[in-house]
Chain A
Amino acid sequence: MKTEEPNKSGPDEGRPFAGLEPPGQEQYLHCIRCGACDSVCPTYRQSLRETHSPRGRLFLARKVLEGETEFTPNLIDQMYSCLSCEACAEACPVGLRPAELALELRRLDQQLHPARWKDLLFNRFLKNPALMSAGLWPLRLYQLLGFRAAARALNLTGLLPDQVRDMEGMLPPIPGRTGRHLIPRSTPNQGEPCGRVVFFLGCAQNLLFGRSSEAAVRVLAENGYQVLTPPDVLCCGMPALSYGDWRSLTDLARHNIARIENLKAETIVTDCATCGATLKAYGRYLEHDPDWAERARNFSAKVRDICEFLAAVDLKRPRRPLTGRVTYHDPCHLGRTQGVRTQPRKILQQIEGLEFVEMKEPDRCCGSAGTQIITNYEMSMGVLDRKMDNAAEVEPDFIATGCPSCRMQLTTGCRRRGLPAEVVHPVELLDAAYRDSENGK
């Protein structure tokens, strides 16, 4: 790990950030500032300010990388105001990825100004599952991440009253038992054996939505798969990535690859959009590590989101019809990042009695992006309100989405608006339709 310490001897002459790992000029040089990304960016559409747009962020990144402006706290803040929804990359006719560049700048910031709280959080906390579950981690995590904004303002209690309310509204009732306690290491297949899969249980699913992951495992087993759920995997690394801490990210990746490789499964399934996106990118994160590049590539190639996996197999027919109307929200990390859009819809449409209705702009970011409710509260709520306008219009009983972060945000949205809809994972509905009664739910 010591070898990855940034070179503190200072930048080489004429080239800022030499000795560090600044993003290459191919990530910005060809931007012709057409503005196509602005029109799809949720933060721009909310603030209508160029500084909160992909084009603006990319321009700032370029200026700082070319040594024409300082790497100021305000500039870094703009890199953190990005929701990483990747809508800009989809719109860019040149093929640039401004949201990824913002992540790169966060990484550079972390290399230049290593923050103690990040080391504490990502290097110690995230690598210790016992500490995390013991500590009711979401509250701790959010508190810790909130330090960034709070410390800057030198006003720890500077949160707005509405913000505190909305933050509380985000959290589901903290379950008595985590997913790790609910899901055995090995779950036998029901009926005809179809194969063996590893289920990657992510932190948020484990700690907040354990019952939902339990349902996911049950659905896999119901369809003939033996499910191995290794209890000793660690956080996928996304929180570390979003805060620019690549050392922790790659440490976590190596750990998870080593644990799961041993199990010799054909497929690695996860029910968390963010974990899926991160696991699928391990190959890229470790591409420059000669000992791990190939292992990481092989690992990433086996990863599937649970809806992606289920939609590709001959799914067992649900027994029990459900009632109600369901709409679907595309998590950015699933729809845009992984290209999994049709599969969750297909699953929902297979459930008898459930009326599937598409909302407007289903793939527009909900504004959560992990911790934006703390770090960019007003922006996050503005983006959420637009999402809830669209959701409320179709009067759903269920809003299905396969990402715990979106799920918390949409739950907040339902409460803010008084929308009587239940926010669920699509596979939970399938699980309910598989069972004759509501037992165990």
Chain B
Amino acid sequence: MALDQRIIKRLETAVGKKHVLTSREDLLCYSFDGTFAESLPDAVVEAGSTEEVGAVLELSYKEGFPVIARGMGSGLAAGTVPYGGGLVLSLTRMNQIMEIDPDNMTVTVQAGMITGDLQTEVEKQGLFYPPDPASLKHSTIGGNIACNAGGPRCLKYGVTGHYVQGLTVVLADGRSIRPGGKTIKNVTGYNLIQLLVGSEGTLGVITEAMLRLIPLPTQVRTAVAAFARLEDAGLTVNAILKAGLLPATLELMDETAVACIEEDRHLGLPLDQEAILIIEADGFAEDVVRREIEAMAGLCRDNGASEVRVAQDSKERNELWRARRSVSPALARQAPNKLGEDISVPRSRIPEAVRRLKDISAKFGLPIVIFGHAGDGNLHPNILFDRRDEDQWRRVQEMVEEIFRTALELGGTLSGEHGIGTMKLPYLENALGRVSIQVQQRIKQALDPKGLLNPGKALPSESIM
């Protein structure tokens, strides 16, 4: 449904003429996210405050047009692509820190703040916001919360949702609620915060968040271990965790991922090995952290690592992480398109998951590159292909189905940290079961009775009751 001039005028009154975009060029620039999906919105507004978001949603509720909330559009599940048009509600202008409270160890931020910028600010005060999605420099806190983003450090520190202590949320009709607060314990009422975490903009629009902070570790050591056999790397992950060690991160990359990094950054990583693990230990006592990283390095050797290197300084460490974060996009050097999946399995099943993914690749004749957060069981199999080739695209769709089936058979799930968006929607019922979907549809109905908030995302819109 197109937005007529009358509605555009009302939007201009709500957020200012300058912040309502309708040119074809603007609409094109808000038609995509971090996937290959595209669909034009009817208009874009750039909201500057919770009140403005309220006014926009009130209008949407009254006039019946859909609203798709969007941060920096780096999502990997087509969760902010405006299928069927509607209004894209950009929150990037809302990028201020409202308060850092060192006594209660919280930070209150607007939803459009870039996560990496937030981390830099709180770290100046010796405080730490651990969640570290690879996109941390180009994704927003609001988007991270709406997708419950993870990252390498989640193995030790937990995901975004574990740090959300309070929210300001504008509801479908324009009213707002502020669940949570500065208390650490709170069982007063249903836990609306955790309902909204990961809701992908389908239940309300998050405009502000109060986040829990912890002390910033002062010591970090990083090691890289190379394995001739991919499965040995998987076994090492469990060996380390069973030995009573809790690394900050335990990242796996297969040989194609390593080759991509080397092509880009020339770090001297081994190219003739099937996999590498990046392992990090952090804490506050230098000798403890050193002993931990050495113990983990020893376990790598015991489990078949051909080479183990401990990074000597922060420069080497930063290079390594920059490289790790660039793996997913750097794969694009290899093929015009890539489809990055996000399955999560119980971590004891990692070796089996890796083997079965390789089998799927061989069966369909398209490369699957595997990397991910092996320590918490979250893997990112990336299929490389050329979307313009119809046959390849058909095979990709079949492969995705098999990948999901594999994850579920191993006791895992469809998505660990990217979200469902639209791309995983067809597989949701298999993962959750009919009753669970029905319950979720009722929740959706209660909070968004007209179905205007990011319609068609995260949950099947047709009733299966």
Contact = CB atoms under 8 A, between A and B. Distances in A.
Q: How large is the interface on B (under 10, 10 to 19, 20 to 34, 35 or more residues)?
A: 35 or more
Interface in B308-327: 326
A20 interface: no
A174 interface: no
Contacts of A95: 264, 333
A74 interface: yes
A432 B73 CA distance: 51
A34 B34 contact: yes
A100 interface: no
A29 B28 CA distance: 17
B95 interface: yes
A34 B23 contact: no
A70 B28 CA distance: 12
A139 B135 CA distance: 44
Nearest to A95: B333
A48 B92 contact: yes
B29 A39 contact: no
Contacts of B34: 32-35
A94 B330 contact: yes
What is the predominant secondary structure among interface residues of chain A facing chain B? loop
A2 interface: no
A151 B4 CA distance: 31
Given A33-B34, A35-B135, A48 B112 contact: yes
B274 interface: no
A63 B25 CA distance: 10
A354 interface: no
Nearest to A63: B28
A257 interface: no
A31 B332 CA distance: 7
Contact of B29 (A32, A56, A70, A94): A56
B137 A69 contact: no
B138 A59 contact: no
A59 B28 contact: yes
Contact of B328 (A34, A51, A74, A78): A34
A51 B332 contact: no
B74 interface: yes
Nearest to A94: B332
A32 B90 CA distance: 21
A38 interface: yes
Interface in A37-74: 38-39, 48-51, 53, 56, 59-60, 63, 69-70, 72, 74
Residue among B33, B138, B338 having the largest count of chain A Cβ atoms under 10 Å: B138
A32 B333 CA distance: 10
Given A39-B138, A95-B264, A33 B35 contact: yes
B135 A34 contact: yes
B116 interface: yes
A69 B24 contact: yes
Contact of B329 (A29, A50, A93): A93
A93 B265 CA distance: 9
Interface string B229-251: 00000000000000000000000
Nearest to B338: A32
A286 B72 CA distance: 39
Contact of A35 (B24, B25, B73): B73
A92 B336 CA distance: 15
Nearest to A68: B28
B74 A34 contact: yes
B25 A75 contact: yes
Interface in A1-45: 29-36, 38-39
A201 to B, nearest CB: 38
B32 interface: yes
Nearest to B31: A59
B43 to A, nearest CB: 13
A50 B116 contact: no
Contacts of A31: 332
Contact of B25 (A33, A53, A74, A94): A74
Residue among A32, A59, A95 having the largest count of chain B Cβ atoms under 10 Å: A32
B26 interface: yes
Nearest to A45: B114
Contact of A74 (B23, B137, B333): B23
Contacts of B33: 33
Contact of A93 (B90, B139, B264, B336): B264
Contacts of A60: 25, 28-29
A39 B333 contact: no
Contact of A59 (B23, B24, B29, B116): B29
A34 B135 CA distance: 8
B93 interface: yes
Nearest to A57: B29
Contact of A94 (B73, B90, B329): B329
Contacts of B35: 33
Residue among B21, B24, B30 having the largest count of chain A Cβ atoms under 10 Å: B24
B182 to A, nearest CB: 29
Residue among B30, B139, B329 having the largest count of chain A Cβ atoms under 10 Å: B329
Contacts of B90: 48-50
Contacts of A35: 34, 72-74, 135, 138-139
Interface string B42-85: 00001000000000000000000000000011100000000000
A49 B95 CA distance: 13
A47 to B, nearest CB: 9
Contacts of B338: 32
A53 B26 CA distance: 11
Interface in B368-397: none
A53 B90 CA distance: 14
B16 to A, nearest CB: 13
A51 B328 CA distance: 24
Contacts of B332: 30-32, 93-94
Given A29-B336, A48-B92, A93-B329, A39 B28 contact: no
A51 B21 contact: yes
Interface in B89-117: 90, 92-93, 95, 112, 114, 116
Nearest to A38: B138
Given A56-B29, A94-B333, A34 B95 contact: no
B48 to A, nearest CB: 10
A32 B29 CA distance: 14
A48 B95 contact: yes
B198 to A, nearest CB: 20
Interface in A66-91: 69-70, 72, 74-75, 78
A204 to B, nearest CB: 32
Given A48-B46, A48-B92, A48-B93, A34 B25 contact: no
Given A34-B329, A59-B32, A72 B74 contact: no
B336 A30 contact: yes
Interface string B415-429: 000000000000000
A39 B24 CA distance: 24
A36 B138 contact: yes
A49 B28 CA distance: 12
Interface in A251-297: none
Residue among A30, A35, A38, A59 having the largest count of chain B Cβ atoms under 10 Å: A35
Contact of A72 (B25, B93, B116, B135): B25
24 contacts: A29-B336, A30-B332, A32-B34, A32-B36, A32-B332, A32-B337, A33-B32, A33-B36, A36-B326, A39-B72, A39-B116, A39-B138, A48-B95, A48-B112, A50-B29, A50-B30, A51-B29, A59-B28, A69-B28, A74-B24, A78-B25, A93-B326, A93-B329, A93-B332
Given A34-B329, A38-B72, 19 more contacts: A29-B336, A31-B332, A32-B329, A32-B338, A35-B135, A36-B135, A36-B137, A48-B92, A48-B95, A49-B26, A50-B26, A50-B29, A53-B29, A56-B28, A56-B29, A60-B28, A72-B25, A93-B329, A93-B330
Interface of B: 21, 23-26, 28-30, 32-36, 46, 72-74, 90, 92-93, 95, 112, 114, 116, 135, 137-139, 264, 326, 328-330, 332-333, 336-338
Shortest 8 CB-CB distances between A and B: which pairs?
A: A93-B326, A56-B29, A93-B329, A35-B138, A50-B29, A48-B92, A35-B74, A39-B138
